Amino acid sequence: GLWITPSTSAGGVGHGLRRSRVTLLCVGLDHRATPMAVLSEAGLDAPRSRGLLLAVADDECVAEALVLSTCNRLEIYADVDRFHPAVDALTTLVAKHTGVDRDRLVEHLRVRYDEAAVTHLLSVTAGLESVVPGETQVLGQVRTALRIAQDEGTTGRVLNGVTQTPVTDYTVSEA
């Protein structure tokens, strides 16, 4: 069923980015918890990924949104004001935009919030969550997802703040 990774503190992600009743949420599928057949079915091309992004940003629970869609993951990062309604809404939107049955999605969906969502994004960006740990292609994919979200006006203080250093300042040295 639905896997939920809790925050390590009740107060949010810290660093002045969060109000106590608001949550940084990551809802998604990845190669570690999802069979490749489901990941392939849930895969989104750029226009459909942008459509999902805009639908997520349009949800009443969501203040900011970013969609990361690669061959090995489909993840939504969102600044939300209500946890449970947001998880439900994002799950429904993923099902609608991917065409994967909602019940089938829930079997593999991972939900992370607050510090766990930030830590996960940092691990993904660094390539630690990749099929081949340490690969660098995902950094460019996260940068592209951030740029698209910024171009569409779906990011703000929270998502721009969490992604600022790891996404924009991280470089990989070729040794």
Residue 71 annotated to the active site: yes
pLDDT digits (tens, 9 = 90+) for 11-31: 333 333 334 456 899 999 999
Determine the Cα–Cα distance for residues 97 and 159; give it in Å rounded to an integer. 22
In the chain, the DSSP E strands lie at 3-5, 23-30, 62-70, 73-80, 110-113
Answer whether 29's CB lies under 8 Å from 105's CB: yes
- The pTM of this model reads 0.83
Residue 6's pLDDT band (cuts 50, 70, 90): low
pLDDT digits (tens, 9 = 90+) for 28-45: 999 999 999 999 999 999
Sequence-ordered list of residues with C-beta below 8 angstroms from that of 48, at least 6 positions apart, any chain: 97, 98
Please pick, among 36, 71, 128, 131, the residue that the annotation labels catalytic.
71
